[in-house]
């Protein structure tokens, strides 16, 4: 099939391997673009989203290390925007070069994206997402007294600052993104889950210290631009049940109801495969005529040619 509107959510391995340098990440995205451009060659419209977890963590550490009265550290929402801009630039550049090599005339645009969250979201009362460096218990308590931030002990490795991870409600720039798609452009948006903002009673937006799951933000964006297909990329070609057991089985075509059953059996790891499954389920539930796919970057050619990957349909 061609002429589809597709939102593709990149996994972290598409950007960062073991080398966190800018050069290594640009090289990784060059390889990523070689796969993504296949959708364009197939005649599809493409919106690309991406994570930023390691990058925003590294930038946070740099800000903390350099923090002073004359050079104060920036808040988390600003750091998310900064990494959205830098990764967007790298990916935009890589996609433009990949298109140029193939003689395809197409514009590529990155949008720093504000994602609206609910100020009453329970996540704000119970921050859970660890960010930044490890502290001793004494250091963490001193930081809590000084900054009113929340810290939690992290798997025996020390204490870390935790921030809320609220659910996304809407994408503020959805109309601009839609206009770019309609004009035939490749769009990069909602990087790192987007910059979390709350909408005040007067309609004004305010950035908040939080992070948004990029798969859920991508799902909201896919709905708002009326995508035909929502693709979540991860490290494997297929989702498996009974993983690493003698009765391990790959899921090729699966329905919403079947995934509900698998979730009740705790088949998918929280913080890993589970949010990807939940995001794709929400997409097909809200757009029953559409499909979602979980697969790997390397499997995209097979997905385009014969639908290979874990294909999720509402029923």
The active-site residue out of 5, 276, 282, 287 is 276
Burial class (CB in 10 A: 0-12, 13-18, 19+), 185: middle
Give the whole-angstrom CA distance, residue 131 versus residue 162: 6
Q: Which of 5, 129, 282, 287 is catalytic?
A: 129
Contact 277, 294 (CB under 8 A): yes
Inter-residue contact 254 to 312 (CB < 8 Å): yes
> How far, in Å, CA of 198 to CA of 208, rounded?
7
Compute, in degrees rounded to 10, the torsion defined by CA atoms 289, 294, 298, 301.
Answer: -20
CA–CA distance, 141 with 133 (Å, rounded to integer): 14
13 part of the active site? yes
Residue 42 annotated to the active site: no
Query: How far, in Å, are 71, 121, 280 from residue 303 at the CA level?
Result: 48, 37, 16
Active site annotation includes 129: yes
Place of tokens 């589809």: 4
SS3 category, 104: coil
DSSP string, 266-300: T-S-TTTHHHHHHHHHHHHHHSTTSEEEEEEGGGH
- 161 is an active site residue: no
C-alpha pair distances (Å), 56 with each of 69, 148, 270: 22, 21, 21
276 is an active site residue: yes
On whether the CB atoms of residues 279 and 219 are closer than 8 A, the answer is: yes
Report whether 256 contacts 281 (CB < 8 A): yes
Helix, coil or strand: residue 111: coil
- Of 51, 52, 132, 214, the catalytic one is 214
Write the Ramachandran bin of 40: left for phi over 0, alpha for psi from -120 to 50, otherwise beta.
Answer: alpha
Active site positions, annotated: 12-13, 129, 214, 276
């Amino acid at each position: 099939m061609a002429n589809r509107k597709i939102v593709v959510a990149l996994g972290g391995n598409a950007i960062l391997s073991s080398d966190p340098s800018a050069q290594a990440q640009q090289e990784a995205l060059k390889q990523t673009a070689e796969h993504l451009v296949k959708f364009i060659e197939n005649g599809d419209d493409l919106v690309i989203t991406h994570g930023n977890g390691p990058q925003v963590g590294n930038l946070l550490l740099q800000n903390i290390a350099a923090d002073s009265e004359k050079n104060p550290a920036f808040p988390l929402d600003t750091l998310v925007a900064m990494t959205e801009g830098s990764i967007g630039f790298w990916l935009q550049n890589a996609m433009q070069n990949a298109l140029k090599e193939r003689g395809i005339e197409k514009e590529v645009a990155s949008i720093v994206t504000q994602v609206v969250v609910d100020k009453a979201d329970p996540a704000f009362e119970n921050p859970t997402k660890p960010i930044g460096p490890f502290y001793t218990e004494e250091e963490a308590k001193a930081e809590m007294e000084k900054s009113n931030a929340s810290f939690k002990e992290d798997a025996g490795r020390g204490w870390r600052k935790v921030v809320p991870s609220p659910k996304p409600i809407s994408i503020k720039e959805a109309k601009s993104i839609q206009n770019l798609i309609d004009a035939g452009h490749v769009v990069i948006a909602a990087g790192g889950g987007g910059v979390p903002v709350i909408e005040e009673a007067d309609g004004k937006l305010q950035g908040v210290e939080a992070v948004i799951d990029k798969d859920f933000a991508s799902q909201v964006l896919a709905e708002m631009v009326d995508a035909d297909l929502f693709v979540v990329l991860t490290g494997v070609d297929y989702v498996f049940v009974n993983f690493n057991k003698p009765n391990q089985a790959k899921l090729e075509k699966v329905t919403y109801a079947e995934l509900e059953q698998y979730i009740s059996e705790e088949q998918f790891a929280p913080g890993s495969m589970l949010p990807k499954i939940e995001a794709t389920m929400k997409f097909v539930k809200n757009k029953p005529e559409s499909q979602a796919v979980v697969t790997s970057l390397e499997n995209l050619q097979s997905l385009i040619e014969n639908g290979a990957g874990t294909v999720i349909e509402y029923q």
